[in-house]
Structure 1
Amino acid sequence: MDTTERVQIASTFLLQSPPGEINDVLNAPDVRNIIGDDDLLQEGIHPALREYNIAQFTTVDVPGTGHQSIISEAARLPAENLDEAQERFLDPRSKTSFVFDHLSLEASNPQSFEPDAEHESFRVALQTAALLYLSSHFQDGVASVFFSTKDEGPEFVIQVVANKYNPTNFWSGRWRSEYVVNLTENTVVGKILANVHYYEQGNVQLSTTHNISFTLPPAIISAPSNTAASKIIALIEDEEGKYQISLNDTYQEMGEKTFKGLRRALPLTRQKIDWDKVLGYKLGAELSSSKGMFGNS
């Protein structure tokens, strides 16, 4: 197997890393031994790290500010010339662009950025409303609103990411959502992506994608910027709330039906299990003494 193939294998592992665990995967002996050369490994996997950070909405401390911004395709600025070696990303909140190191996850070389004057007031209104929504529903999260000009007309891209890492209890999770607001077509098109990893005495991952689209009522389009922005975020809040409820219902059903369905209807003793009684068993002596009753079910 040549070096290119080894780098490709290592990159595949990295792209599948659960939330907050990419460094654990990168530093795992099995991954590092695939190539056997740390310098070559870091050089070869850089494209995979870049792809991962952009897709996962990696957050970064913005130099000279007290907040974080999101690394994403919407945040990436086009190169000013073909010879530019380091791509720059934008923090629209502070009107700052910076270079991002995909390995160290640090920002550097900040520069001021001049936004589109015609659309900046509405972008700021969306940003303000998004931050209020973030503080109400996410314990730890980052929200950024970007502006871009497309063939379909001017677009505002709202992105939210929230991470929760709990290695002590062997789980981690990430919530990402993105919405494209097009005021020419009066539409909002978005998606929610949720990833959860639980790895205590096992390895279970949940990965979901939920698409959302709706048309903006005329009353919102004709409203002042601050009012329109607040109402758009309120509609997004409603959609995300409904999806959260559906996830909770799914978890409840899995606990009550799906996991029980994975077991035999009857143990080897042909006697039904009293599930309510099982919840009362003490770990240790009582559970061990009942081993014969459970058999291999």
Structure 2
Amino acid sequence: MAEEEEESELSEKQKVEIAKWFLLNSPPGEIQYVAKDVKSILNDDGLFNEAASEAFPLYNKSHFIVLPMPDRSGDVLVTSFGELEDNAFLDPRTAQVAIVDHVKQVCEDVRPALDEELASAYIEEFRFSLDAEILKYVEEVYPKGVCSVYCVNGKDSEGPGSDFELAIVISASRHSPQNFCNGNWCSVWNIDFKDEQQTVEVKGKLQVGAHYFEEGNVQLDTKHECKDATLFQAPEDCALAISSIIRHHETEYLASLEASYLNLPDSTFKDLRRKLPVTRTLFPWHNTLQFSLTRDITKELGIGKVTLVDRINNLLLFAGVFNAGAGFCLAPPRPNQGRRIEGRRMEIILKTSSFSGLSVLLLQEEQSSKQCWPLKRRRRGQ
């Protein structure tokens, strides 16, 4: 028995990997809550610190978290495009480098960026113009959204004749755990300037994540890629054209998400339902007359060959109409009140509120030659 327990015990490496998986798959803005639970489950500070030191940097960079700088000069985006060292991230707009504590998710210090960490004057002209246009767009579209433009290739180019690449990162988050919901929007746009072809290629990757956990657990994780192109022009003209392309594609994708939500009840949710009942047979709505309610009730009550009046009265009794005192019953015939029905279908419609879940009951009976008596209102208590 002791040997089996030893074999089932996880190794320290396995525990660290499992803890990392939970941390990396935390919903937007909830990694600190997950970390608290993981730490209590591991019950080992050494193992938790090892898992957290590896998982938090990856999580922060993949979710493009935004941290305010200590001197309140702005916000820094934690992204691989601006990563200089393990904990140092460049903010091109303010030409500063932020020192970040990944596990605590705070910006601890700020220093001026070095010349070799910044783009050349020629590249900076394009980067600055594009950053200004994207900033206007983000402030208009995304509440509390943050954006930044980085030079990822060819930052040392001194003039026309060489290719270079810029990257636009947009991050917008809304964390409201008190209302049981968190979410974020992340988009990355790679702008490839090709001088020889005089074209600018635009490639975008959009990612949306949301988590609703009020009396349940519903998560959204969707990704979308798109591409476009424009002409290589002056910095201001390129910035306007690129910002228009980004606005168009992101607006189109957001509209498609909203349309899919509107179609959820009519399409997606119906697809999740059972196609056929357990009997694997569709209900014949086109020929419902093949089902006889009186025959089924008669079989359930064990009634043999009885008159039509007895059948209906038994049915009324079975349905609880007599007990409720609010229904109808068939009175015995009086002279000259009966009439003959030759080869017709007799329909008796009972309307009463005493039926459980039924407002109208339709009885159908094939009669070759029967007498039908009028319905008589039954007094309460009789």
Q: Shorter chain as normaliser: what TM range?
A: 0.7 to 0.9
Q: Is the 8 A contact 1:65 1:94 kept in 2?
A: no
Matches within 5 A, 1:1-297: 1-28=10-37, 31-77=38-84, 79=85, 86-113=86-113, 114=115, 115-116=118-119, 117-149=121-153, 153-184=163-194, 186-216=200-230, 218=231, 221-222=232-233, 224-263=234-273
SS at 2:26 equivalent: coil
**1:230-259: CA deviations, max 9, x gaps?**
221111000001101111111111133322
State the TM-score, normalized to the length of structure 1: 0.80
> In structure 1, what is the Cα distance between the partners aligned to 2:272 and 2:264?
11
Larger relative contact order (Cα-Cα within 8 Å, sequence gap ≥ 6): 1
Q: Is the 8 A contact 1:69 1:143 kept in 2?
A: no
Q: CA deviation at 1:128?
A: 0.8
Give the AA of the match of 2:226: I
> In structure 2, what is the Cα distance between the partners aligned to 1:187 and 1:119?
16
The structure with more radius of gyration = 2
Structure 1: where are the runs of 5+ without partners?
Answer: 80-85, 273-291
State the TM-score, normalized to the length of structure 2: 0.63
Give the AA of the match of 1:158: I
> In structure 2, what is the Cα distance between the partners aligned to 1:192 and 1:107?
26
Deviating runs (4+, > 6 A) in structure 1? 265-268
Q: How many equivalent residue pairs?
A: 259
**1:187-215: CA deviations, max 9, x gaps?**
01110000011112221111111001112
Q: CA deviation at 1:265?
A: 7.7
> In structure 2, what is the Cα distance between the partners aligned to 1:34 and 1:168?
24
Identical columns (%):
31
> In structure 2, what is the Cα distance between the partners aligned to 1:44 and 1:101?
15
Give the AA of the match of 2:102: H
Structure 2: where are the runs of 5+ without partners?
Answer: 1-9, 156-161, 286-355, 358-382
SS at 1:183 equivalent: strand
> In structure 1, what is the Cα distance between the partners aligned to 2:62 and 2:163?
24
